[in-house]
Structure 1
Amino acid sequence: MEPVFRRKRNGALLLADTDEARAVLSEQRQKHYEKALPAAKVREIAVKAVLKKNGDIDNRKHLLGQFTLQFGRFRNTTFQWLLSNALGYAAYLVVSLEKDKPSEDARWLNKMALQKYLKLFPEGEEAVVMKRKERITTIPAKVVRDELSDTDDHELLDIVEKMEHDAEGDTAEANEMCVSFKFFYTKHFINPIFKNKAVHILDISKFV
């Protein structure tokens, strides 16, 4: 019940998504926006999953491994699966947590749980160090449109995920950001993965 970490031939930790992760990502594009589950509910589901797998709920690696991600491109996948199939993205989320303000928000608590799980493994710590070194300061969601053209895909996804979060608390404000973002989206070429993500978020108003 632990993740399988992959390495390159030279021994370097492999952060790239697996084929399975890319397949899941393709499926996620077709799914509608969902609000994050409360932390207590995520834990309850994890406990049931651990018991079903004959695991030990007192083992943090077992329990946290069955927590599910409540936001983002791999929403609803377990932490164990995420570290096995999209370690780079998991490490990216943990690094991005360093700039977040503490809160009782379900997404923030979910990120904290992921951080705790990732740091239970030496490979997880190694991945965070690697991501921290390549990290470019994330541009806030409310940005000047012209600045977006120099933003990489991970930063763009950060913006969209922030828009998801804002939609939970203030639909009108989120819709305004979506309109601004759509202006940029229609003017510039973006990675196909992000294009689909952008379209998905721009339709949020249908589901909140």
Structure 2
Amino acid sequence: MAPNTIRMALAETLENLSKDDFKKFSHQLLDRRAEPRVRRNRVEAKSCLEIVDALVSTFTEPEALQVAVEILRQIHCNEEAQELESKTKVCLEKGDPTFRKTPSGELERNPSQEALKYAADQWPLRATQQGGPSVKKPEEVEAEAKARVDSEGRDSQNDRLVLSRFIIQFGQYKGQTFKWLLENDLGWTTFLVADHQKEREQMKHQDPLMSNKDSLTRYAIAYPEALKEVRLKRAYSRSLQSGPKGMALVGFGAHGSETLKGLYESKDENKISYVQFLRSKKSTCDPGSKMEIAVRYILKRDRERAAAGRRLTKRKWAQSDRGQENSASRPMHANVRRGSRRTQYPARSRQ
């Protein structure tokens, strides 16, 4: 069984060292120059457990772990150092999600394969449940989250850590933790939070379902990555409800905060390239998606621009034809005028 505290992991690692490696570890610990330093009388001729006590009391547990890993690598116990880091990874976790990234380094908003499989497995269960089981009360959800943290040997007084272990009580991912949601389907989770914030502006009543959504919102917006996505989704929603369509936000990708009009008319090379990329997605984007809305707008503007170009060309041709007609007829008109003057005013002959 894996140790559930840093102290236990340190003790287990030191006990598994050979006698020579243990001596090297103790010597390197005493030779360490950085402050704070462990006193000699707390290391020399001491057991593994006593040295662990010295480490933890001199440093914090996470700092003691860092010092131990550094020393293990210095004495060439690299496998032991890596194993110690692996054992204590869960102990160092504070409930923060690890956001997935695309190959280009952007946030991955689409569901993971694990999320797709989980949602697919949930459909038969949801179909057989008439109305489904009732949503648990907030106190039950919190009590279960604290029990989950305690079972991991973690600090159940850490509010964010406990919140990360709350279970979502509804939807296609019912039964998963809040932390899992942000890690496996950021797009769905932030859409849900944005929708709940809008709902909260109109409804103040409290029930177990609303409470569960409140808790998820509190957890998600604590992280800048998720908060930015929530704000973008709300801004996109507002932009669709007011003003012309061109003033709606793109709502996705690197230029999500741009308006469709601004993106299309931009002279920036990156934005021009992105518009061209969207044109290529005409036949592949999902119907009704933000990308499909953007592509439709771009193609519509393309048609309008082409039609305006044809009208301008026709006007130029018409103006050119009129100019040629005027140029060809001007000498004949002058002769007619001069001839008419002679007819009206003939010169008098001398008597």
TM-score interval, smaller chain: 0.5 to 0.7
Instruction: State whether structure 2 residue 164 is matched by structure 1 residue 65.
Output: yes
Hey, what does 2:134 align to over in structure 1?
Answer: 35
- Once the two structures are superposed, the pairs formed by residues 100-139 of structure 1 within 5 Å of their partners are 100=199, 101-135=203-237
Where is the helix percentage greater, Structure 1 or Structure 2? 2
Contact 1:65 1:79 in 2 (8 A): yes
Contact 1:36 1:107 in 2 (8 A): yes
Structure 2 SS opposite 1:76: coil
From 15, 33, 37, the counterpart of 2:109: 15
Q: Please list every run of 5 or more consecutive structure 1 residues that lacks an aligned counterpart in the other structure.
A: 138-189, 192-208
**1:136 & 1:25 partners in 2: Cα distance?**
29
**2:96 & 2:153 partners in 1: Cα distance?**
13
Structure 1 SS opposite 2:119: helix
**2:154 & 2:99 partners in 1: Cα distance?**
20
C-alpha spacing 1:123/1:55, structure 2 compared with 1 (3 Å): farther
Contact 1:37 1:106 in 2 (8 A): yes
Hey, what does 2:119 align to over in structure 1?
Answer: 25
C-alpha spacing 1:124/1:56, structure 2 compared with 1 (3 Å): farther
Shift of 1:136: 7.4
Contact 1:66 1:80 in 2 (8 A): yes
Q: Deviations over 1:64-103 (max 9, x none)?
A: 0110111111111110111110111110111011222122
**2:146 & 2:107 partners in 1: Cα distance?**
30
Shift of 1:126: 2.0
**1:67 & 1:29 partners in 2: Cα distance?**
22
Which deviates further from its counterpart, 101-110 or 7-16? 7-16
From 137, 140, 151, the counterpart of 1:52: 151
Identical residues among aligned pairs (%): 28
C-alpha spacing 1:99/1:133, structure 2 compared with 1 (3 Å): closer
**1:30 & 1:105 partners in 2: Cα distance?**
27
Cα-Cα RMSD: 2.3
**1:13 & 1:27 partners in 2: Cα distance?**
26
Instruction: State whether structure 2 residue 99 is matched by structure 1 residue 5.
Output: yes
Shift of 1:13: 1.4
After TM superposition, the score normalised by the length of structure 2 is 0.37
Q: Deviations over 1:12-33 (max 9, x none)?
A: 2111100000010011112122
The residue type equivalent to 2:165 in the other structure is Q
Shift of 1:127: 2.2
Q: Deviations over 1:94-144 (max 9, x none)?
A: 10112221222111110100011002212221221233244379xxxxxxx
The residue type equivalent to 2:213 in the other structure is K
Shift of 1:59: 1.9
**2:225 & 2:117 partners in 1: Cα distance?**
24
Shift of 1:48: 0.4
Contact 1:21 1:86 in 2 (8 A): yes
**2:100 & 2:212 partners in 1: Cα distance?**
24
Contact 1:13 1:127 in 2 (8 A): no
**1:136 & 1:116 partners in 2: Cα distance?**
22
Shift of 1:52: 1.1
Contact 1:102 1:108 in 2 (8 A): no
**1:37 & 1:55 partners in 2: Cα distance?**
24
The residue type equivalent to 1:97 in the other structure is H
Aligned length: 140
**Greater Rg by CA:** 2
